Structure 1
Amino acid sequence: MGAAGSWALGRLGLPAPRLPAQPRPAWLGVAALALAAVALGSVAWRRSRRRRRRRRQQVGTVAQLWIYPVKSCKGVPVSAAECTALGLRSGHLRDRFWLVIKEDGHMVTARQEPRLVLVSITCEDDRLILSAPGMDQLVLPSKLPFSNTVHDCRLFGLDIKGRDCGDEAAQWFTDFLKSEAFRVVQFEKDMKGRPSREILPPFVQNYQVAYPDCSPVMVLSEASLADLNTRLEKKVKMDHFRPNIVVTGCKAFEEDTWDELLIGSVEMKKILSCPRCIMTTVDPDTGVIDRKEPLETLKSYRLCDPSEKQIYKSSPLFGIYYSVEKIGSLKVGDPVYQMV
C-alpha cells in the first residue's frame, strides 16, 4: 500500500495493517501415496462443500433502501434499485456521484461542514432538485455539458476526477454554507473510481468506488439501531448512520456474521465492518455537530475484538461494508439470504 493509501486509512481510523506471515502448509513432507489417497477421498467432499456454500439461509428482509446522491447531503428513500458495481442506482439517482469540493479540489463533508446534512434532494425527470433552509431550489442536470471543466479531486488523500456542475451550483453551496468558496462535481461512469487496494487493507476484494468513503454498499439492521437507542438518553435515527440497505427481522448485530449475501438478484460479499467517526454525531435534523454522541456510547460496547485492533484501532463498529459480486436489482420487502 502506498503513502496515499496509508494516509487514507488514517483518516478513516484504519491503520494500514501488516499481513500475517502465511503458515507453513501442514501437508508438506507427507508421502506421495498418502497425498493421493487424501486427494481422491476429498473430491466428493470439496464438491459437496461448494454446493453447501451456495445454500441460502434467510436472515432478514429489506426494510429500507437509501441512495445518497450528494456526499453528506440527505438520502433519498427508494422502493427499488439497481445495484451496480459502484452502488445503488434508481433512475438518474446514483449513490454518492456528486461531491462538494473546495476550490483546491479537496472534498467537503459534514465532518467539516455539518449543515450539508440539511440539503434534501428529489429527482424530477433527468434533474436533481436540491433544497435547503433559506435557499431557493437548485436544479442539477444528471448529464453535464462535455465542455464543463473536469477537476482533479482529493478524497482521503486519493485522487479522483469530477466534472464541474457550473457556477450556479457552486454559488448555491457557497451561499448556504457561508464559510468559503465551494464547487460541486459529478462523477461520470467512464471515469476511474478509487481502487479498493489504495483505500483499505490489501486483503479486501478488488473493486472501485466513486465518492463513498470505502465501499459501494453499506448494510445495517433495525435491531442494531434499536439496541443502541436503549443505551442513549437522546435517541438517534437511521439517518445518523447513512446505510444503503436497512434490514429487519434479525437480531441486533447479527449482520456482523453475514459474509456473502443474496438480495433480489444481487450478490454481495462482506469487506469489513464500518468504523464510525464524528460524522455520526451530526444531527440530521439540525445540522449541528455534537462530537460526542452516539459515538461515545458506541465506543463503550462496540469496539473490535483485540485480534482486529490492528485494523480498526479505537473506532467503534456499526454496520457492514459490502462489495458487489453480481450486479442486479433489489427492492424493499426482498428476503435477505446469507449464503452458507
Structure 2
Amino acid sequence: MAIILTGIYIYPIKSLAGISLNKSKVEEEGLQFDRRWMLVDENGKFLSQRTMGKMAQLQPEITPQGLQVAHRIGGEKLFIPLQAEGAPRQVTVWENTFEAQEVNEECNQWFTKKLGINCALVQLSPDRNRIAPEKYTGEDEVAVSFADGFPILLSNEASLKDLSDKSNTALEMERFRPNLVISGAEAWAENSWETIQINGITFKGVKPCGRCKVTTLNPKTGEPTGKEPLKTLSKLRNWKNNAIFGENLYPIEEGEIKIGYAVSIQNTKDNPVKTIS
C-alpha cells in the first residue's frame, strides 16, 4: 500500500491552536511559519498548555499582511506583524536560553489580558541561534524554532487508530499536535524510519516523541478530558519512561510539500519502541 501525506499542520505561536494546510514550504527550521512566535512569562520562560490549557482557545491565522489571532470564546482578534518591532530579550525553552525579539507592546497587553498572566510575545531571531540536541543529530547542525526539540513531528493515522481502539476512546489527531500526518503505513512503523522523502525533500528520523499531559486536553478548549490517551499509551508504547506517539524529524533540503504527495521510505532502523499488546 502506498504511503501518502494526508495532513499538514503548523502552530505559528507555540502552544496555541494549530492551522491545517493543503501545502507548505519546508525550511531549515521546519515548516514555514511553524512556531516562529512564542509567549513567555516575566522571566522569559515559554508558556505552554501543560500549565495553561486556555491557550488552546486562541486560534492563529496566516494572512497576506501578517498573523492574526482570534479568541474562540470571545471572538476578539489581534493582528501581529510579520516583523517584530520590539527589543531583543533572552528567552528559555526547556534547557535552551537564547535571544529572541519582542513583537510589540500591543501584543503583550492583549495576551496578558486573555491569559491572565503578565507575558510577552516574541519572534524567532533571524540569526537562527538555537540548535537541536547534538546527541540525536550527530554531526548535523540542525536549526530549530521554538519547538520543544526538533523541527518537525510526524504522526501515523494507523497508530492513532490502534491507540483509539486499545484505549476505547475516539481520539483526535489534533491532540498530538503533529506537523505531518501520513496514511498507508502499518501502525507504529514511523519510529523505524531513518530517512523518508516527500517531493524530493529528505527528512531524517531523529527520535520517538515522548508525550505529555497536553494530549489529555480537549484541543479546542484546553479542558481536561480524563487520563486517556496517556494511560494506555504509557503501557502500549513506552520508551525510556516516556509514552511515545510520533517521530521527530528534521529536513535535509528545503522545498514544498502538498497533501496527497507520496511518502517514500528511503532507509529504516531498528524500532526502539516495542509495542505491548
Is this a same-fold pair by TM over 0.5? Answer: yes
CA deviations 1:51-104 (Å, max 9, x no partner) are xxxxxxx85100011111000111111111111110001xxxx11011000011
- 1:221 corresponds to: 156
Q: Distance in 2 between matches of 1:238 and 1:257?
A: 20
Please say if residues 88 and 102 of structure 2, whose CA atoms lie closer than 8 Å, have aligned partners that are also in contact: yes
Answering whether residue 227 of structure 2 is matched by residue 289 of structure 1, we say no
Residue 194 of structure 1: SS of its match in structure 2?
coil
* 1:122 equivalent among 46, 57, 61: 61
Q: Deviations over 1:198-242 (max 9, x none)?
A: xx5575843121200111111111111111111234322111001
CA root-mean-square deviation:
1.8
Superposed CA deviations along residues 89-134 of structure 1, whole A, max 9, x for unmatched, are: 1xxxx11011000011011111111111111111221211101122
Which secondary structure does the structure 2 equivalent of 1:66 belong to?
strand
Residue correspondence of structure 1 range 1-340 to structure 2 within 5 A: 60-89=3-32, 94-132=33-71, 133-145=73-85, 148-178=86-116, 180-197=117-134, 201=136, 203=138, 205-290=140-225, 292-304=227-239, 313-340=240-267
Separation in structure 2 between the aligned mates of residue 100 and residue 240 of structure 1, nearest angstrom:
20
With normalisation by structure 2, the TM-score equals 0.90
Whole-angstrom CA distance in 1 between matches of 2:253 and 2:101: 28
Gaps of 5+ in 2: 268-277
CA distance in 1, matches of 2:208, 2:238: 11
SS at match of 1:134: coil
Residue pair 1:205, 1:271 contacting (<8 A) in 2 also:
no
Give the whole-Å Cα distance in 2 for the aligned partners of 1:110 and 1:297: 21
Q: Which amino acid aligns with 1:136?
A: E
Structure with larger Rg: 1
Gaps of 5+ in 1: 1-57, 305-312
The structure where strand makes up a greater share of residues is 2
Instruction: State the identity %.
Output: 26
Distance 1:278 1:204, change over 3 A: farther
Cα displacement string for residues 159-197 of structure 1 (whole angstroms, at most 9, x for unaligned residues): 12221121221121111112x211110113334123422
* Distance in structure 1 (CA, Å) of the matches to 2:95 and 2:26: 27
1: CA distance, partners of 2:232 / 2:132: 33
Q: Which has the higher helix share?
A: 1
Deviation at 1:246, TM superposition (A): 0.4
Partners of 2:224 and 2:39 lie apart in 1 by 18
Return the letter of the residue paired with 2:161.
A
Cα drift, residue 290 of structure 1: 4.9
TM-score by length of 1: 0.74
Give, in whole Å, the separation in 2 of the partners of 1:194 and 1:69.
19
Q: 1:204 to 1:75 in 2, by over 3 A?
A: farther
Give the corresponding residue for 1:5.
none
SS, match of residue 230 in structure 1: helix
Alpha carbons 1:128, 1:139 under 8 Å: kept: yes
Residue 307 of structure 1 corresponds to which residue in structure 2? none
Matches of 1:281 and 1:298 in 2, distance apart? 11
